Every structure is written in structure tokens, then in C-alpha cells.
Structure 1
Amino acid sequence: MKSITVLAPAKLNLTLDITGVEPNGYHTLDMMMQTVNLYERVTLHKSETLRLKLPGSTVPANDNNTAVKAALAFFDYTGLLAGVDIVVRKSVPVRAGMAGGSADAAAVLVGLNELYGARLSQDELCSLGLKIGADVPFSILGGTARVRGIGDQITPMPNCPRCWFTVCMPQGGISTPQAYARYDVLGTDVRPNNDLAQKALFDGDLDALCAQMSNALEFSSQSPENKPIEAILRDCGALAALMTGSGAAVFGVFRDEKKAQAARAELKKHYPQSWVLHPVPRGAHSLGIK
């Protein structure tokens, strides 16, 4: 029982609305979130020290990395005098709005809990995760959920109706703090109705869900690629097309996998990072201890 591997999925924001600003400057949100089958693969080895490797990635392996922050938070909370060697094999693009860093943190918390037999509850793991990032609790839980507040109020929803997502990542990423700062100046006239989106999920109505899919941050992201990518997706038959999170990734929703694949083929003429993904019903999960 020396090592464990955890898969942690990326997420898409099916809706995103901003409902206010806390005194500390954090924005409160109301959004429908969905995990998808693009995974970070995180392997944890018992150790006496704390080290991080990200083979093939340009992401810095330093103390600011969410995986390191998660490990430090776990050991501080449990009081365990132990360490871990972390190897993160990244698949989720950086600065995409797909929660790759949050998925890494979630994988570390879930993995260390099992590797060291700490028996922390899911609520405890989510509380630790929230200190690292607003998307970490959802990355732990996964599935389809309505997420409110600062990411701390998570209500599981029925599974997303059967569909495929064609996801496209343009060359340039988006800074989340800058996107929110621009929102504070520019505002938005985009307001998804999450009550109707929730009803659509309970009814299993993909068309009604897609009718509510919008993102209050899309205008303030100021990404020049949003509209061209969305236009291609719609021309290929997407039921909805929008940015996820604070960007820069954009996705379209398709009822038919062949149409989703055709959209990906068209996008790849201009944008090499494109995928066809589908909803998955859980967040970070272990592949077992070795």
C-alpha cells in the first residue's frame, strides 16, 4: 500500500450567473456544472517529503500549484507527519475554465485520504478543498449539480440528458481574476434562468436545458475567439454554444455524436485543441492502491 492513482474529470459550466459580491471581494454565483470525460491522472506515492512532478506540462511545479496546496492542507488538517510524491499527468488545458487545477487538488485530497486511511468524510474533503479553490468541492463530488455561493453550496441534480460536447480551446487562455475585474466594470445583460435549467434537468429535456445555457462572464472575458468558435459550432448543428467558466474554452452541445465529431473536425482546421466529450456522473475517484 505505497501508491494510489486518482482520475479527476474536467468540468463545463452549462450555465453561469453572478448573483453578488461578498465583502471580501469574492463573487457569488449560481450555475449548473457538469463533469466530463477529460481526466487529470494523479499518482501519489508515500514519502517522507513533499514533491510534485508534471511530466510534459509547462505548469510550474512549485508551492503555488493546487496539488501542493491540497497536500499541505490535508497534512495540516489530519496532523499526519508524512509526505507524498505527486505526479500529475495533465490532459485538461490551462486557463480554460475547465477546472484542471481544481481537479488536481481534488485528486490529491481524495487520494491522500485513501492512501493514508484518514477516513475524512466527503464534507470534510470539500471543506478543505474550498480553501484551495471555489471549484475544488465540485471537482470532488462531480456529476451534474447546481452550485451556488462561492462554490460551497452544491445541490446534486439528475444526470444531464444524453448528449455530446464539442469543446474547443483557443491558443490564448483567460485570467480568471481579470475576467471578474472586467465584469465589475462592464456588467452583463446575460442572465441564465437556473430555476428553468433545473426543471429541464428533472424533466430530462435537453432542448429546454440548452435554451437556458448562457454565461454571464462571456462578454467580460473579451476573448476574440468566442464568437468565431460559437459560430462554427452552431453552423454544425449545436443546440447551444457558449464559453465555460471564465474561459477561454468554448463548447457546443449536440444530440448526435456524428454531428459533434463533424464539428470537432471543422474546428481542428483552426484550433488544434478540440475534443468530443460526454457527461460523467462522478468527480475525483481512485483506481486503487498498489
Structure 2
Amino acid sequence: MKKLLSTAIVAATALVGAEASATNYSLWIHGRNGGSTQRGNYADFSYWGPSGTAAGINKKAVNWNGTQKISVENFRVRDALDCFCTGTNWCYIASHSAGNLQIGYALSMYGGSTRNKKNAVPNASGVCGDAGGTQVGWNIKWVDVASGAGGGSELANYGDWATSEPLTSDLVTSTARAMYNHNTTRSLWFYMFAGSRGTAYSGVLPGQDDEAVAYHSTGGVSATGGFCNPGDWFCDGTLNTGTAATSNGKAKWSYHSVSLRDDGEAYDHYAAGNWAGIVGPVRSDMVTYAK
């Protein structure tokens, strides 16, 4: 309901006077990778899947070096937000895994800053020209998050990922949670999609997980812990849908709501170059609502 209402409000605003020329965009922010995506190329969807697949209106791939620290590469996310989410233009955001940290960091640290309005025409580096004037923050409707790593992953804690990658140190649970104020979303809703098709490999992850990130992170919970689907044993509590706290009273961060809890254990972490895993339901959501 919140998503439908938000979309309706912005659509109505777009009908007023100067807003008539507004364009909506869908920005896709990927997670950890080998640094292979083409930074500045908003048409490179190789991380996600075939570029011809529907994934929301005017989709753009926000590519960054997914081996580097969030603070080092966040300028690429801000470049994209400046390009497509200023002036009369509005954005829907979809993120995956460490992409959750990227958009969360950008909003918390820079969402209250003055931005130059841009013309949505990027150069080879992904930077757009000035359109004249400034504004505070960006025009964003909401954020969909597939397997969000905003709370980090125990795989980073215990060195199960390549420790030589700078990003791994950011994904340590204590580091990820202290990186910025996760409650500061500039009043934008983060809709969390949490997968639970884990394997024996992910045994160090507490509670339910998708093989890479546990429910405490993918569900936007403000504390670490072993959270599970209803009826599961040996857990700290149930991850509840919507904005409700876990069954043992651990609150979600402000403006975080669980849209999908994977009760059927159907979705793993990986897009697999084909919009697969937990990315699939987020893609479907973007097709339905990002218009």
C-alpha cells in the first residue's frame, strides 16, 4: 500500500505544469563482484542478466568496482543519482547485496547535501552535464533491496571471502552497521526481499540465510542474531514481514519493511547472470511498480 501511494503521489505531481516533461528511471546498483562491470556505462547489465529483460522504466545499471570499499566507490552511485534523479526527473532504486550499503551510505551521508541539477546525458565516465540550478538531495520514490548486506555478513567476519578485497572489511557485520546511520533514509522506504535458500557452506551464518547473507541483514534488523521463518527451531526469533520487530523484540531500522520473507526457501543469493535468485522477485516488483 505504501508503495502504491508513493507512486500515485509522484505521478500526480508530474502532471503539474513544469513537471510534465519529467522522466522516470530505474537504477540498479549491484553488489560484490570481481570489478568486471564497466564503470560509467549505464547500459552494462552483465552483473544482472540479459539487458533486454524488463526491469522497470528506463532502467540504468549503476556500475562500481565491487571489490573496493564503499566510501571509495560511492561517488559512482552519487554520479548516477545526480544524473537521473535531479531536476524534474525521478528514480526508483533497486539494489543487491553490498549495493544496499552503497545506496544507504549515499542517502545517509549525502542525501541532505546540495546537488547540481543534471541533464541525464552521461559522458563516458558516467557524469552528466549541468542543467542549471541546485536542489537538496535526490528525487527518489523508494528502494527495493534484494538480499541486502546493509548489516554485513558473517562470511566476512570469518574470512570466508577473499580477504585481499577491500570490500570484505566493509562487510564485517560490526563495520557495516557502524558505517553510517541506517535509520537516516531521508524518509525513503527500503523494501527488503530476504532469501533463505542456504546450503551447508553457509553454516557460519546465523538463522536463515541465502548462502551469503543472513536474515538479520536482508531483513533490515537493527541487531545481529539468528532470525528465521515461522516455526523454525533453534533460532533467536522469527523475522516478521512489514515493519514489525522480530518475534523476540529486535526492531528494524526506520523506514525498512520486509516485502518478501522466503518461507519456501526458494531463493538463493545469486543473480547468476540471468536475473536469478532473490533478484528475480525484485525484478518482478520493479516491472510492476517502477513506471
Band of TM-score, shorter chain: under 0.3
> What is the TM-score of this pair, normalised by structure 2?
0.25
The answer to which structure, 1 or 2, has the higher relative contact order (CA under 8 A, 6+ apart) is 1
The structure richer in strand per residue is 1
> What is the TM-score of this pair, normalised by structure 1?
0.25
The structure richer in helix per residue is 1
